[in-house]
Amino acid sequence: MSNRSLRFWARNRTNARLTAIAASALVVTLGAVSWFVWSSPDSPVREAADTVVAAANPLTAQNALLQQQLKTAKGQVASQNGKLKNAAAAAAASAAAHAKQVASLQQQLARTQDQLGALEAESDTGTGSGDKGSSGGKGSGSKTTNATKPPKVPAAGSPGGDSTPGGTEKPDEDPAAVITAPSRDSLLHPEHRYFGMYTEQAPFNWATLDATAKKIGVEPNVVGYFSGWDEDFRVSAVQRAWQQGRLPLMTWESRPIAAGNNSNSAPEYSLPTIIGGGFDAYLHQYAKDIVATGLPLAIRLDHEMNGTWYPWSELNGSGKAINGNNVGDYVKMWRHVHDIFQAEGANALVIWVWAPNIINNMQPSSHTTQEFLAGYYPGDDYVDWVGLSGYLRPPWRAGNDFTAGYTFDRSLDQLRTLTSKPIFLAEVGASETDGHKPGWVKTFFEQFHDSKNADIIGFSWFSLAITSYVGGERSTNDWRIDSRSDSLAAFAEGIADPAADFTLIPAD
């Protein structure tokens, strides 16, 4: 390259060096100025740059706002969760208080019913609309009797016993002062067999029982009713029963009276709780109240224990505990209750009835053996009568010939293997389903003709129509004596047969 081609600032080496030095100084100076401008907080250039950066990043402010909103929402959620927990706790406390209030109201209702029962005793006519036609099952209307109806209690101030307009004598204003009853010992071994009945509201109202008795032509001398362990002893039930000359048979269930039969769970009433003394105060007072009446009664305590449907049973079909109970607890419970009554003197008035369920389709096979039943028996020292609950009821087992022998014989054999105590069929009935009832009723009374059944001292018929669940299906069974005319006729004829040896009290 020729010297002519050099730029003016680099025509020689000296100029070139000076030019390079000047350029470097300029760069340093510009850098210093730039640093000063950018590092100064009040610099308009810096503010302009920040504005440009903010404009270039619009999501920064929005993100900060969203973060703040998220924080606020989290706080609100935490606050609502706290309020929800407090509300749940308050609801639980309210429910517990409500349950206690309901229990208290139930007790008040029971006491009120007792008072109403006593008032009804003063005005109850005791009459019913009996069917006297040919379908009523009375035949010619004449019956062989081996007993007469006990006299009514005279009204106060009326030696002759003034009657109410309906025809039933009015009881004394103080029924406890005039009511009498046979001795317990004479009741234990009756001269003739007992005929008992469960009906709606008896013994607190006799309308249904008396109406049915008129259709049969014979009055029952046993009246059955139910009571729970949330109820005090119902004095009026026993008094009203004996006013009519009837032995009261109380089925006493260790659970609340309003409990449904669709559950076998009642933890507060478990057998270990009873054995451990959880109900001792209640039991002592109950026994004292019985003694105060001076009147005998039969108590069927926690019946059908060999099934799986009540909370006083011990095992289900899989061998698992029911209601927290242990094997052997039922016997311990029974003896515990019996011992308390003995200590209070109540056993001088009480006939203890131990009544399992018959062998049938409702039980698992493991619950139908002799050994299983024996595990529930408290012993002869603690039992006065043994009994059974037994029904003609669907579903039908193969081989069922629809006779009372098929229904009861196997279970009666098990009872007789356990003990020689008198047998009282404490709860019996027959369903109208499929039309087998009249024939079954006929065989039911024929079984009393057989000498092998001489130890059966009577029965109590469950004369109600009940809807329940069997095998998970809803079913209505009409157990009433007068459910149909042919069933009623078979019953009336059977009980009047002298060979059956029942106490026959003509119905008014």
Domain's final residue, options 56, 74, 89:
56
Q: Give the residue from 56, 83, 100 where a domain finishes.
A: 56
* Residue 265 belongs to some domain of the structure: yes
| Residues 346 and 201 grouped into a single domain | yes
* Higher local confidence (pLDDT), 155 or 415: 415
| Domain match, 29 and 129 both | no
Element (H, E) at 293: helix 280-293
Confidence of residue 475 (pLDDT cuts 50, 70, 90): confident
| Distance from the first to the final alpha carbon of the chain | 155
Mean pLDDT throughout 86-97? Answer: 52
Distance in angstroms (rounded) separating the CA atoms of residues 283 and 232: 10
Residue 157: its pLDDT value, please? Answer: 28
Q: Are both 344 and 489 inside the same structural domain?
A: yes
pLDDT digits (tens, 9 = 90+) for 190-233: 999 999 999 999 999 999 999 999 999 999 999 999 999 999 99
* pLDDT given at position 174: 53
Tell me what pLDDT residue 260 has.
87
* 61 pLDDT above the threshold of 80: no
In a domain, 74, yes or no: no
Q: Is residue 91 part of a domain?
A: no
Q: What is the domain count for the chain?
A: 2
> Would you place residue 508 in the very low, low, confident or very high pLDDT band (cuts 50, 70, 90)?
confident
Cα 335 to Cα 457: distance, rounded to the nearest angstrom: 24
Determine, yes or no, domain membership for 113: no
Mean pLDDT of 460-465: 97
Over residues 62-66, the mean pLDDT reads 60
Q: What is the CATH number of the domain that holds 390?
A: 3.20.20.80
The mean per-residue pLDDT over the stretch 476-494 comes to: 97
DSSP letters, 110-142, are: HHHHHHHHHHHHHH---------SGGGS-TTS-
Tell me the two tokens of residue 65. 């706002």
pLDDT at residue 84 greater than cutoff 70: no
Task: Please give the pLDDT value at position 491.
Answer: 98
Name the 3-class secondary structure at 225: strand
Mean pLDDT across 300-320: 97
pLDDT at 169: 35
Which residue segment(s) compose the domain that 342 sits in? Answer: 124-135+184-506
Q: Is 492 exposed, middle or buried (0-12, 13-18, 19+ CB in 10 A)?
A: buried
Q: Which residues contact 111 (CB under 8 A, 6 or more apart)?
A: 232
Same domain, yes or no: 130 and 13: no
Instruction: Name every residue whose Cβ is closer than 8 Å to that of residue 291 and which is 6 or more positions away in sequence.
Output: 344, 345, 346, 348, 349
**Is 71 a domain residue?**
no
Percent of residues, the chain, with pLDDT higher than 90? 61
Cβ atoms within 10 Å of 181's Cβ, excluding its own: 23
> Is 33 domain-assigned?
yes
Residues 425 and 253: their CA atoms lie apart, in Å, by: 18
- pLDDT of 145 strictly over 50: no
What does the mean pLDDT of the chain come to? Answer: 80
Residues 320 and 463 in one domain: yes
| Helix spans in 316-430 (H) | 329-344, 370-374, 404-418
Give the helix ranges, DSSP H, for 57-183.
59-123
- Same domain for 49 and 188, yes or no, is no
Predicted pLDDT at 176: 47
Domain finish residue from 28, 56, 84: 56
Alpha-carbon distance of 488 to 138, in angstroms, equals: 9
Q: How confident is the model at residue 9 (pLDDT cuts 50, 70, 90)?
A: very low
Confidence band of 159 (pLDDT split at 50, 70, 90): very low
Q: Comparing 92 with 274, which gets the higher pLDDT?
A: 274
CB atoms within 10 A of CB 434: 10
Q: Are residues 130 and 19 located together in one domain of the fold?
A: no
Note whether 494 and 355 are same-domain residues.
Answer: yes
Q: Residue 466 pairs with which residues in a beta bridge?
A: 477
pTM over 0.85, yes/no = no
Residue 496 phi, psi (nearest 5)? -80, -10
Is residue 199 domain-shared with residue 314, that is, in the same domain?
yes
Are 329 and 190 found together in one domain? yes
pLDDT at residue number 111: 55
438: in domain: yes
- Residue 455 located in a structural domain: yes
Q: Which residues are catalytic?
A: 304, 427
pLDDT value of position 476: 87
Residue 310 has pLDDT above 60, yes or no: yes
